[in-house]
Amino acid sequence: MTTFLFGLAFFLLLNLTAGLGRVIRGPVAVDRMVAAQLFGTTGVGILLILAEAMEEPALRDVGFIFALLAVVVSVAFVKRGWVRGGEGEGDEPPAEEGSR
């Protein structure tokens, strides 16, 4: 069972690494931000699995804090990092994205 759990965590981590490509390639800010949010969700998954596999219940708390605060960065991005109404054509971020 532990082997399976570690395998699952490893698989999720590889997923996360692949998702990094979107953060690096962009091209638009929203792409990077949403990829980073996905990073957070996958990370919480990894933490929950590791809590089970490593028999360390405190890791659930770590995952819980990440899940609770993931929204803060999204909100800061929408409110501060992202100025709506860009001039560059095709740079206009889709209106429905931005928060998780």
Partner 1 sequence: MGIPMTPLEWGLDATVALLLVGLAGRILFTRDLFEATVLFIAFGLTLSLAWVRLGAANVALAEAALGAGVTGALFLTAFHRLARRGLAHPLDRQRYRADELHDRSSRGRADRGDDPKPALLDVGILHGPLWLRASMALAGLAVTGGIAARLLTLADRPPSLPILVEAHLAETGVSNPVTAVLLNFRAYDTLLEVAVLVVAMIAVGSLDRGSRAFVRDPEELEEDPVLDALSRLVVPLAGVAAVYLVWVGSHGPGGAFQAGALLAGAGVLLVAAGLMGPVTEGAAPIRALAVMGLAIFIAVGAGSMPWTGSFLAYPPGTEYGLILLVEAVLALSIAVVLIELFVDVPAVPHVDPALAKVDPTGDPLGRRISPDGAVIRNPDEER
And the tokens for 62? 């770590």
CA-nearest of 51, 47, 48, 24 to 36 is 24
CA separation, residue 23 to residues 26, 48, 88, 100 (Å): 5, 24, 20, 16
Among 21, 43, 95, 96, contact with partner 1 (rule: CB under 8 A) = 43
Shortest Å, Cβ 34 to partner 1: 10
Residues 62-91, one symbol each (x = binds partner 1 by CB under 8 A, - = not), give x-xxx-xxxxxx-xxx-xxxxxxxxxxx-x
Contact 98, 77 (CB under 8 A): yes
Q: Which residues would be at the binding site for partner 1 (CB under 8 A)?
A: 3, 6-7, 9-10, 13-14, 16-17, 20, 23-24, 26-29, 32-33, 35-36, 39-40, 43, 46-47, 50, 54, 56, 58-59, 61-62, 64-66, 68-73, 75-77, 79-89, 91-93, 99
